[in-house]
Structure 1
Amino acid sequence: MTRFRTSLLTLITVLSVAVAGCSSAPDRPQRTFGLSSDGENAGVRSAFDTGEALGREPQVVNFFEAWAWQRPLPVDTLYEIHNRGAIPAVTWEPWDPNAGEYQDGYSPSRIAAGEFDAYITQWADAAAQFGQPMQLRFAHEMNGTWYPWSVDGVRSTADDYLDAYRHVHDIFMRTGANKVQWVWSFDASSGRPEGLPTAEASYPGDMYVDVIGIDGYNGGGEATSWQTPDEVFGGALQTANAVAPGKPVWIYETGTGDRLGDKPAWITDLFLYLDATSVSGLLWFDFDKQGEANWRLDSSPAALDAASAALAEW
């Protein structure tokens, strides 16, 4: 095992235990809590405001960055998060979010062929200069159908995705950005047609992944049924443990709407459910998405109270 990989595993372990406190059950994993913020700057500050209202500061703050924006790594935002005692995380999406799901210009094969190497290297150099732990979640939810990098077996195969992921990872390693923690994150319930490659086919390998992420939601958008936490995450947790036994597993995106059921009760049930699993981290998708759902933990006083009580035991 190389020194940088050993260092990364140590950082993951420290992150999972440093702030969560002591548990009365010795075999209960110490857990990390984080928030996905609605953009940089104001979004990051909003995440910490939510943490204050919850009585639990986020240990990880994630924001989203699209390749079409062609912006440098926002180091000032990373430091803003770092200086508040949290780990900055970036969900790095190779697409234009305003151009639909079919975007051949951002295909995994083009990424693997080196067409974006200058941009990737710029980010890698900046991450190396930042020199602090950060998480990078590249091309998440590849087992869905809604992104240019979605593995559909035609426009993009599992091998195409793997080549792109490993190519991006290797550029970061060559630049010395060895404090980046790599998050491979799949969708808990993609609803994809039979016969398409599963999430397992897109796993890059243990040397390329530090954290397994799972994204799963309840009762928002066009949903017509209210699901229990086990209905959302049960199968995905089995997949994660089968694909990479021993890797840290985090719920990297989650939320619940309130249109079809009792949001505060679902929040309580989610944390009780996860308490009986080996999940070691959770990032709440703290967005109010008009026309879809208000996923925020403070969408109502009752939701905030439920989350605050659950996090006191997390």
Structure 2
Amino acid sequence: METTAAEPPTSTPPAPTTPTAPPPAPTPAAAGAGNLPSPSAGTWLSGASGVGAATGEFGSWRGRPLEIGGQWVDTNQDMVHLWGLKEEWNHWDGPIDVAIGAIGPGETWQQAATGAYDGRWRQSLTNLREVRGSRSGALFIRFAHESNGNWYPWSVDAGEVDAFRAAWQRFRALQQEIYPESQLVFNVNRESVGSGVDWRRTFPGARYVDVMSVDYYNQWPAVTSAGQWAGTLDDVDQYGAPKGLEQHRLFAESVGLPLAISEWSGNADQGGSAAFMEAMYGYLGEHAGNGPGEILYEILFNVAGYDGTFAVFGNGVRMPETAEAYRRFW
């Protein structure tokens, strides 16, 4: 979901750099190696983003403190300055999923693959380490999130697959050099939109990723019953790639990685659905854990704006039955 933090109007993007040599390849490691949180069997890290998440109000409302947060710093300026992360989550010590973007308007994956933006990426990772490195909770870096959609500058089309994979591997090398304790998250939208390519072709390889992730909203069409939920789990998109949640989980399992749901919620424009909340809670409990194909964390998207379409907490909630179902189960 596109969310952009406010930025000082005088800021200008850092200039692309021309590296003298590509960064070294990361040392081969087991898929998903790193300091993953270790939820016990049948549990997962449950969190939220947006209204009340960082302040604790959301957790108080639902009757359970958040175990993970979510934030976006996804413009070329914000990925370096980290304004939203510093301002909203300054006092948060727990795990957090942070979407940092990748490339901006007018930039290309072909340029990224040759190292044109290594300087900015390096500075982003260095600043993330300075802001989060001493915290006890893991930092999950969502690089180039929802790249299988057509609404971000870092969207990947059929002619950019090889360049994207090469650029991702460059970023991975930088992440392993600068902030190896962080976790690198490969995140896709539930289904591809306008990309012209099966997103599985863009997957850079399990050694370059720590966590698979999907953003999963109850929309187009909305699930309103247990039967409809069950009927969507194995859906695939127009390319045969995962669309249903079970298909995403099975893909994560096939590449030896845990799965996260970095953004999810109901959709008030499509009526909301208490049944969706109940089914999601049951599914999470059935598949929770930090092993391959297990669900490590989920973050409910409660961000202000969007005419209240996705919110379950705050002023003017438009799907109260859905919100109450979430509160009851969580």
Q: Which has the higher helix share?
A: 1
1:136 corresponds to = 141
Aligned-partner Cα distance in 1 for 2:34–2:157? 35
Map residues 215-234 of structure 1 onto 2, 5 A cutoff.
Answer: 215-219=215-219, 223=220, 225-227=221-223, 228-230=228-230, 233-234=233-234
Q: Secondary structure at the match of 2:36?
A: helix
Q: Equivalent residue for 2:213?
A: 213
- Residue 254 of structure 1 deviates from its aligned partner by 1.0
In the alignment, which residue of structure 1 is the partner of 2:122?
Answer: 121
Structure-to-structure mapping, 1:9-48, within 5 angstroms: 9=33, 11-14=35-38, 16-17=39-40, 28-37=41-50, 45=54, 48=56
Q: 1:252 aligns with which of 242, 252, 262?
A: 262
* Offset of residue 61 of structure 1: 1.0
Secondary structure, counterpart of 1:141 in structure 2: coil
Letter in 2 for 1:51: G
Equivalents in 1 of 2:183, 2:87: separation in Å? 16
Deviation larger for 79-88 or 2-11: 2-11
Q: Which residue of 1 aligns with 2:108?
A: 107
CA contact (8 A) 1:264 1:303 kept: yes
Which residue in 2 is equivalent to 1:160? 163
AA aligned to 1:139 is A
| Aligned partner (choices 147, 151, 164) of residue 152 of structure 2 | 147
Q: Note if contact 1:210-1:247 (Cα within 8 Å) is conserved in structure 2.
A: yes
Residues 148 and 155, structure 2, Cα contact 8 Å, conserved in 1: yes
| Amino acid of the structure 2 residue aligned with 1:91 | A
TM-score of the pair, normalised by structure 2 = 0.72
Give 1:160 deviation, angstroms.
Answer: 1.4
Q: Kindly state the Cα deviation for residue 190 of structure 1 after the two structures are TM-superposed.
A: 2.3
**CA distance in structure 2 between the aligned counterparts of 1:260 and 1:276, rounded to whole angstroms:** 27
CA displacement, residues 78-132 of structure 1 (integer Å, 9 cap, x when unaligned): 6974854421221011355xxxxxx4x2221222222222211112222334424
Stretches of structure 1 that go unaligned for 5 or more consecutive residues are 18-27, 97-102
Which amino acid counterpart does residue 191 of structure 2 have in structure 1? S
Which of residues 299, 306, 317 is equivalent to 1:290? Answer: 306
- Residues 37 and 44, structure 1, Cα contact 8 Å, conserved in 2: yes
- 1:198 aligned partner: 198
Residue 73 of structure 2 contacts residue 98 of structure 2 at CA under 8 Å; is this kept in 1?
Answer: yes
Shift of 1:74: 3.1
1:275 is displaced (CA, Å) by 3.3
CA shift in 2, pair 1:6/1:264, >3 Å = same
Q: Displacement of 1:305 after TM fit?
A: 2.8
The 1:265/1:238 distance shift into structure 2, 3 A limit, reads closer
Q: Give the Cα–Cα distance (whole angstroms) in 2 for the partners of residues 81 and 3 of structure 1.
A: 32
Q: After superposition, what is the alpha-carbon deviation per residue over 1:272-293, rounded to whole angstroms, capped at 9, x for unaligned?
A: 23434443321111124335x5
Pairwise CA distance, 1:244: 4.7
In structure 2, the gaps of 5 or more residues are 1-25, 236-241, 288-293
Q: Distance in 2 between matches of 1:82 and 1:185?
A: 25
How far apart are the structure 2 equivalents of 1:309 and 1:296? 16
- 1:37-116 matched pairs, under 5 angstroms: 37=50, 45=54, 48-70=56-78, 72-74=80-82, 77=85, 81=89, 83-95=91-103, 103=105, 105-116=106-117
CA distance in 1, matches of 2:264, 2:84: 27
CA contact (8 A) 1:189 1:232 kept: no
| Matched residues, number | 277
